[in-house]
Structure formats: C-alpha cells, structure tokens
Amino acid sequence: MSFYNIYHKYKNCSFEELPNQELTKLLSLEAEKSLEAMAQKAKTLTLQNFGKTISLYTPLYLSNYCENECLYCGFNANNKIPRRKLKIDELKKEAKFIAKTGLQHILILTGESKKLSPLSYIKESVKILNKLFSSISIEIYPLSQTEYKELIAAGVDGLTIYQEVYSQSEYKKLHPAGPKQDYQFRLDAPERAARAGIRTINIGSLLGLAPWRKEAFFMLKHAEYLQNKYPEIEMSISLPRLRPQFNNFQTPYEVSDKNIVQIITAARIFMPRLGITLSTRENSQLRNNLIKLGITKMSAGSTTAVGGHTLEKTYIKNSLQFEISDKRDVSQIKIMLLKEGYQPVLKDWVGALQNE
Ligand code: SF4
C-alpha cells in the first residue's frame, strides 16, 4: 500500500465526484461563501495548536545542474543559463553569510542531477553546514530509503519534496524528459524518507499547474496518509504558486489570493496540527495577512540562485530558478512578526550532530 493506491482510486473523478467528506466541502466552490467563518476557525485552531509563533528558515542553493525538462522551471536542462555547483570554500562563505543573520534552520537545494550533484557531495556539504545550523532540510532529487538513511546519518533532519502536480496526466505533459518522468517514484519519496527515520516532511503542489481544488485535495490526503501512518513525523505542506522564470511559462490555471486563503483555512481545519509553510514566492503584503490564518513557517532573506548571497552579482542575475516576490531580509521579517505580536522562532530543534 502506498499513497498511489489512494490517488489511483480518485484520479479520474472530477472534483465534484470526489467523496463528499469534510475536506471536499472545505475546498468546494460553495465553501467560498463561508470563507470568513472558515478563517475565524482556522485562526483559533492555529492559536490553540501553535500559539503566536512563526519558524523562520532560508533556502541555500548548492547547485543548479538538472537533468529534467520541467516546463515551468528556470533550471530546465534545456535553458542556457550559467550552471554551477558550490565549491567547498564557496559553500562555507555562503553558509557563514546566512548564519550571521541568526537563522538556524536551513533548506539546501540542488537541481536534480544525481550525476553532477551526487549524494557524496550533498553529504560533504551537510557535514560543513552542521557546524553552523541546528536543522538541515533537503530539497533534492528523490532518493531510495537507504540513501535517505545515509543523509539522515550525515545530519539531515528534514525533507521537502513537491509532487509539483498530482494530476498524473498533467504531470506527464509538464515533465517531458529526465528521471523526474517517474511519477510514482516521486510520489512515494516522502514515505521512503519516513521509513528511513526522517524527522520532518514537507510536501506540496505547485499551484497553477492544474485545477487547484483537486490538487489541494490530493496534497492534503497525502499529508493525512503520511501523518496517520507515521505519527512521529512533523508533517507540513507548502503552497508554492507559479512565479515568472527564465522560460516565461504561462500559468495554465490561475490561483487567486482568495483561493490561497481557502486552501490555508481548509488545511488548518482538516489537520489542526499540520505545519503550513509560506515562501517568498508571495508578496510581502499577502504574507503579512496570511500569517494569522494558519501559517507556521516562513522563509526569509531568500535567493533562488546558487551562492545567491555571496557569488558575483552578474552570475546571480542570470541564473535564478524563479523570481521571488518578498525580498525582505531576516531582520525585516523579524520586525514585522514582532509588530504583529508573533514570536519569530529561529531554532526549535538541535540536530545530534551539531558541533561534532
Ligand atoms: S523543477 Fe527541479 S527538476 Fe524540474 S527543472 Fe527545475 S530544478 Fe530541475
């Protein structure tokens, strides 16, 4: 049994044909009329379960080599952008820059090329980062259970992996070449990591690639499936919306701010303890407004280029994965949170390997 069995059961249903459960009701068009009441309920549940705290993290791009041709991404293997992998001394410099901001949680990313950013390189990088950060998550190509175990042993405690789009037919069209074409290997990656003993898992659907109600349904059913089967895992979702990038890919299915509000409030009511991450893909005003509805984690001081804080500006400008919208640095985000009455959390976990 894997989540694929659940997906398979409902894959050919329209949203209206999905089982008439709490989740489908919350995500329905009809529920838009009760959005205000849903928002109030989500606000209360968030306060009860998380208090007024927001964890902060930042991405650190190790490499932008990629073997895939995802139509919506600036790192698409066909794009003629400068490609690079951080050398160890460059990584140390970038990591020190981030550590100076006070952040202790970091998300390391690569494009998906196992050949050019092999596991050995990621392990070596994690060992360096362990000295500066208390929590290290990865957003890299999907791995086997044994490989996840190796990274956990090296000091990784969190996994972020987006299915991108749950609709298997859309997935096929959007991923025309490369190892990422294997839909099920990606779908089952979080479960392999859970079996390997990872502490946190963050999944997501890239909003805009397919009709959002059904995508949100599958994402939340996936989160529920993982949480029920692996209750020890700290489970969370992300709500990335498509952003402009190198290929000028046009969003096929628009997702409005109001739709985002509905997904967040539905998620909070459906799974009150679920972590909800909001990245700098969204603008500062929207991010400020969404905090109260159920967000538990935000990125700050982000860049989507390899070595985006410390490498040459001319290189960085031409090699972004996508454009970020909220460009505030860590101290500005902290000030905003304090002003709103929230406590910014820079550290809520200490990896056993830190400072070894
Ligand atoms: S989304 Fe990921 S796998 Fe696809 S092209 Fe971009 S970096 Fe590569």
Residue among 112, 165, 185 whose CB has most ligand 1 atoms within 8 A, to mutate: 112
Q: How confident is the model at residue 324 (pLDDT cuts 50, 70, 90)?
A: confident
CA distance 2 to 349: 29
Q: Which runs of consecutive H residues, i.e. helices, occur in 155-300?
A: 168-174, 183-187, 189-196, 212-229, 257-270, 284-294
What is the H or E stretch that residue 35 is in? helix 35-50
What pLDDT is attached to residue 347?
A: 86
Amino acid at 326: D
CA distance 176 to 164: 14
What pLDDT is attached to residue 45?
A: 97
Q: Using the predicted structure, report yes or no on whether residue 227 has a pLDDT greater than 90.
A: yes
What is the average pLDDT across 89-99?
A: 96
Amino acid at 28: S
Ligand 1 pocket check for 161: Cβ under 6 Å: no
Q: Using the predicted structure, report yes or no on whether residue 351 has a pLDDT greater than 90.
A: no
CA distance 285 to 157: 31
CA distance 2 to 192: 10
Count of alpha carbons within 13 angstroms of residue 294, beta-carbon side: 27
Amino acid at 65: Y
What is the average pLDDT across 53-80?
A: 95
Q: Which of 108-117, 290-299, 313-322 has the lowest mean pLDDT?
A: 313-322
Q: Using the predicted structure, report yes or no on whether residue 239 has a pLDDT greater than 60.
A: yes
**275-to-20, 119, 279 alpha-carbon distances in Å:** 25, 28, 13
DSSP state of 136: E
Residue among 66, 110, 113 whose CB has most ligand 1 atoms within 8 A, to mutate: 66
What is the average pLDDT across 231-257?
A: 89
Q: Using the predicted structure, report yes or no on whether residue 333 has a pLDDT greater than 80.
A: yes
- How far does residue 165's CA lie from ligand 1's centre (Å)? 13
Task: Supply the residue whose CA is at minimum distance from atom 5 of ligand 1.
Answer: 76
Q: How confident is the model at residue 354 (pLDDT cuts 50, 70, 90)?
A: low
Closest to 236 measured CA to CA, from 199, 183, 211: 199
In tens, the pLDDT along 137-162 reads: 999 999 999 999 999 999 999 999 99
DSSP state of 16: G
DSSP state of 207: B
Burial class (CB in 10 A: 0-12, 13-18, 19+), 148: buried
What is the average pLDDT across 226-244?
A: 94
Q: Using the predicted structure, report yes or no on whether residue 281 has a pLDDT greater than 90.
A: no
What is the average pLDDT across 229-247?
A: 89
Cα-only R_g, the chain: 19
- How far does residue 325's CA lie from ligand 1's centre (Å)? 19
What pLDDT is attached to residue 245?
A: 67
In tens, the pLDDT along 3-51 reads: 999 999 999 999 999 998 999 999 999 999 999 999 999 999 999 999 9
Residue among 70, 117, 175 whose CB has most ligand 1 atoms within 8 A, to mutate: 70
What pLDDT is attached to residue 209?
A: 96
DSSP state of 1: -
Ligand 1 atom closest to Cα of 110? 7
Tokens of 40: 């109030």
What is the average pLDDT across 60-81?
A: 94
In tens, the pLDDT along 185-205 reads: 999 999 999 999 999 999 999
Ligand 1 atom closest to Cα of 67? 8
Ligand 1 pocket check for 290: Cβ under 6 Å: no
- What is the residue-averaged pLDDT of the chain? 94
Burial class (CB in 10 A: 0-12, 13-18, 19+), 256: exposed
What pLDDT is attached to residue 349?
A: 82
Residue among 65, 67, 68 whose CB has most ligand 1 atoms within 8 A, to mutate: 68
CA dihedral 322, 136, 279, 86 (to 10 degrees): -20
Ligand 1 pocket check for 249: Cβ under 6 Å: no
What is the average pLDDT across 196-221?
A: 97
